[in-house]
Amino acid sequence: MTNASVREFKMPDVGEGLTEAEILKWYVQPGDTVTDGQVVCEVETAKAAVELPIPYDGVVRALHFPEGTTVDVGTSIIAVEVAGGAAPAQEAAAAPAPAAEPEQPVEQPAARQPVLVGYGVATSSTRRRPRKQAQDPAAQQAASAVQSELNGHGAAPAAPAVPAAPAAPAAPAQRPLAKPPVRKLAKDLGVDLATVTPTGPDGVVTREDVHAAVAAAQASQQTAPEAQPAAPAASAPAAQPAAPASYDSGRETRIPVKGVRKATAAAMVGSAFTAPHVTEFVTVDVTRTMKLVEELKQDKEFAGLRVNPLLLIAKALLVAIRRNPDINAAWDEAAQEIVVKHYVNLGIAAATPRGLIVPNIKDAHARTLPELAASLGELVSTAREGKTSPSAMQGGTVTITNVGVFGVDTGTPLLNPGESAILAVGAIKPQPWVHKGKVKPRQVTTLALSFDHRLVDGELGSKVLADVAAVLEQPKRLITWA
């Protein structure tokens, strides 16, 4: 594989439970010298774009994947030759152990590789037993007899000696090693993983191995369609993954679904078909709120801060949550419990060049109005620059989506997975409104609140939406209700 002086840097899990990431850009090339902590590449996960630093000094020997490749977490992406020639700890731990007592578990797994970003990769924390090497038939029969005796079955009658036949070593039955996404792929394509030759580290079956097995099955069908009738499990469904139909590239554009878009699609489908959504609407006069926004822009406490209607809408929602705390909850399906959060991590849906993301302001309920303004400004600017970290998008409790910036009146937003409510804010427009008994032009908007009907009843959802509208209609309630 690699000599003792070469260290393999593996794709780390830069979020919680992420399984893959796309290499967006390499900042180094083979032959370049790198130092501990130097950023070597930028990757995009299902949540954000992240720069990866290398955790040791050395010279780049190889880049294992080109830009634009999606790589599984735990797969080596770059080889670095380090000074001194000492074998890295993970490689030493992976060295073949003595053959004696292979069943004895390892007392302490090797430490995770220090990757500086994310959770690192447990370099064989599962520490699978090395696969048994092929033994001679006599040794196998002896081991089988001893095991049968220990199991209480009695020793099996000794079989007559068999001439050496290395073509059929009869390896012990073992469940093929593969990650859950690869197993799903194999199931969808009708491929038996036991028939696939693994090429991944530690004998793990990869996506490429599954596709190679499908291609081999198709080729065999084309050359000898009647040669192997005894393998229906692999050959029959293998015809399904046919090449996509040709299309006119001048009239259509096909965009691979990956990264943030892939994660958003999965989250929205999961939300739509898991949580029973209910959406309520209210149209409200926000003229006084718009006047307050203009006044706050002149206040020295907000000097250098971005003050806009979203700031007061966020504060109004926080006040409504304080008055109706049960709205700030989550449904725990596994435990069959409703988890009421005593903190508010306020999510703000943000449209970015990479797609929709929902970073959140941690402990937004405890922030003053100037602090909330500063947090909103930082959140928006970071999202636009594509620098939002995965941790900033985890742990949200309730979300605001401002569709009004696109000029639409409102919408029926889908819940962010794990949350119970989301508030959509429509465009603020001058409209005829009855004010003090007369029809006058007023600044009006429409709010929409979607909530999870499993844990939020219509009464609770209506109270929250009515409170938000009341604060925006009379901003002085920010003081009286606080």
Query: Helix or strand or coil: residue 340?
Result: strand
Q: E strands, 73-160, where?
A: 76-81
Catalytic residue among 64, 211, 277, 453: 453
Query: Helix or strand or coil: residue 117?
Result: coil
Q: Hey, what are 300's tokens?
A: 């020295």
| Farthest CA pair distance, the chain | 107
For the beta carbon of residue 480, count every other beta carbon within 10 angstroms.
9
Q: Hey, what are 52's tokens?
A: 């990866």
Q: Hey, what are 334's tokens?
A: 């596994």
Q: Which residues neighbour 165 within 8 Å (Cβ) at sequence distance 6 or greater?
A: none
Rg of the chain on CA atoms, in Å = 30
Query: Helix or strand or coil: residue 324?
Result: coil
Q: Hey, what are 319's tokens?
A: 């006040």
Q: Which residue(s) pair with 400 in the sheet?
A: 348, 423
453 tagged catalytic: yes
Q: Which residues neighbour 12 within 8 Å (Cβ) at sequence distance 6 or greater?
A: 52, 73, 113, 115, 117, 118, 119, 120, 121
Q: E strands, 202-276, where?
A: 204-205
Q: Which residues are catalytic, by number?
A: 453
